[in-house]
Amino acid sequence: MVSPTESRPQKRGFCLSLCGDVNNVTCPSGYECQSNGCGHQCYRTTFQQPLGCPMLKCSYNCPLGFVRDENGCEGCECDSSRLQNY
C-alpha cells in the first residue's frame, strides 16, 4: 500500500482547491482530498491496482487521480472528468 506521504509532492502544489467542500468535487475511491501546501488535491491513500493490472510508476502526480479502465486499472493519464461541471 502507498502511504499518503509517498504520493505527496515534495514542493508546494497548485494554489487551487481542486477537490473538497469549496467546489463539491470528490476524489475517486482510494484517494483523499488533502492540502498540498497552497490548495487542495486528491492524494492516493488506500488505492491499490486490482489483481491482473500492471504496476505502473507514473512520472507525475495527477491532482484528481488517474483514469481507470473498465477493469479498474489506473493508467498514467490524468482524470479531469470530475471537473466537467466547472
Q: What is the pLDDT of residues 15-73, one digit of tens each?
A: 888 898 878 888 998 899 999 888 999 998 888 889 999 988 888 888 889 999 999 99
- Alpha-carbon gap, residue 74 to 72, rounded angstroms: 6
Judged against a pLDDT cut of 60, whether residue 3 lies above it is answered with: no
pLDDT at residue number 12? 61
pTM for this structure?
A: 0.67
Of 28, 34, 9, nearest in space to 74 by CA: 28
Cα separations in angstroms, 45 against 36, 84, 85, 86: 14, 24, 25, 25
Q: In this structure, are residues 23 and 12 in contact, taking their beta carbons and an 8 Å threshold?
A: no
Confidence of residue 1 (pLDDT cuts 50, 70, 90): very low
| % pLDDT > 90, the chain | 33
